[in-house]
Amino acid sequence: MALPRAHRLDLIKPFQVMELLGRARALEAQGRDIVHMEVGEPDFPTAEPVIEAGVQALRAGKTGYTTACGLPELREAIAGHYWRTSGVHIDPSRILVTPGASGALLLALALVANAGDGVLVPDPGYPCNRHFVQHLDARAVPLPATAEQRFQPQPTDLAAVWDDGCVAAMVASPANPTGTMLAPGQGAALHDWLAERDAALIVDEIYHGLVYGAAPPTVLTERDSVLVVNSFSKYFGMTGWRLGWLVVPDGMQQDAEKLAQNLYIAASTPAQHAALACFQEPALALFEERRQAFAQRRDYLLNAVREIGFRLPAEPEGAFYLYADSSSLAEDSHALCRDLLEQAGVAITPGLDFGTLGAAGHVRFAYTNSLERLQSGVERMADWLRG
């Protein structure tokens, strides 16, 4: 007897970096020291006040389901966060608390895309996006994002790949893997182009807060009817708690709630109680300290990788990644990553994980490791490249 196997599984590729990570762990088990620059999560533990709020919630028996949209006080706190950081008023009824940004992205796509519909996903971009689209039996249409345009699309780029069956475009600001952001007005321009075609703009702002120059406001300050994804994973340091949120345009609340109820019932209750502490001192002060530590690492790594031969045509403004052009060092970045791991003991991610456009000529560095470890990683790479 053979069990059925869904065709969509053939469209979903495993991450290259997982293979690399598996190899790194095997080398570590043999006693090798590996400098990790491939991991896309903060190396800081969840802030103590947040843990404390979570523990208190558990002890107080707050372990049942919440409503599908999330705790009302958390939705209000998120609305307050938008007001404080961007000066924009978002009605809490438009905010749905979700299981991570992953849950929010799935929800957003399930709200707008039917089977066969096209959704534009940036290449390079966060790899799960195209898989989320494919999971809905919709079509992931690659949206080329080049260094010349700082890896952020303009309406003309949408037009170049658009077809009559397209219903939405996804972008991220700051983006993974490039760390670049939408320029002021760029979100509005994309929205307006899409609105003329009755199509939706989905903006992933998961790396908001982790920005090293002037902090940008949310795209919601430019246009109200954008689906905005965010998360407690990165800036708030809660990856494993699995908590995020989605802001939906007015009028979509009921549909979104209905979907949330059916897809996952509700996000984790203890995590939601813990997250309330994220919007208060002293957690806020700690997040700022951590942002500064990331800024220091970024400044170091930007120059250091350039000095050893990588190019950074579009300097990242946020997130904790550098998307570096490795084409003058190696023809195939996947082979380069493998060699750096095996021979230099440094783990970085090949461009292939983020799409196909220019992938063989790019790698991603994540500065989710201490300055000392990053320095040691760069020294090892420099030695190896010198041969």
Ligand X SMILES: Cc1ncc(COP(=O)(O)O)c(C=O)c1O
Chain contacts with ligand X (rule: CB under 6 A): 40, 100-102, 126, 172, 176, 204, 206, 231, 233, 239, 244
Is 157 or 204 the residue whose CB approaches ligand X more closely? 204
Query: Min. distance of Cβ 239 from ligand X in angstroms?
Result: 5
Start-to-end CA distance of the chain, whole Å, equals 54
Q: How near is the Cβ of 349 to ligand X at its closest, in Å?
A: 11
Shortest Å, Cβ 102 to ligand X: 3
Which residue, 212 or 245, has its beta carbon nearer to ligand X?
Answer: 245
Q: Least distance from C-beta 386 to ligand X, angstroms?
A: 33
- Contact by Cβ (8 Å): 97, 70: yes
Compute and round to an integer the Cα radius of gyration of the chain: 21
- Whichever of 238 and 330 has its CB closer to ligand X, that residue is 238
Q: Which of 136, 330 has the CB closer to ligand X?
A: 136
- Please say which residue, 202 or 344, places its beta carbon nearer to ligand X: 202
Burial 269-306 (b: 16+ CB within 10 A, else e): bbbbbbbbbbbeeebbebbeebbebbbebbeebbebbe
Angstrom distances, CA of residue 312 to CA of 179, 261, 334, 363, 371: 11, 44, 18, 11, 20
Residue 14 Cβ vs ligand X, minimum distance, rounded to whole Å: 15
Under 8 Å between Cβ of 213 and 179: no
Cβ nearer to ligand X, comparing 43 with 381 = 43
CB of residue 235 vs ligand X: minimum separation in angstroms?
11
Closest CB to ligand X among 193 and 241? 241
Give residue number: closest CB to ligand X.
100
State the nearest-atom distance from the C-beta of 214 to ligand X, in Å: 21
Distance CA 231, CA 238 (A): 9
CB 269 within 8 A of CB 67: no
d(CA 333, CA 367): 19
| E strand residue ranges, 42-186 | 95-98, 118-123, 139-144, 166-172
217 burial type by CB count under 10 A (0-12 exposed, 13-18 middle, 19+ buried): middle
Helix axes 100-112, 253-264, angle to 10 degrees: 120
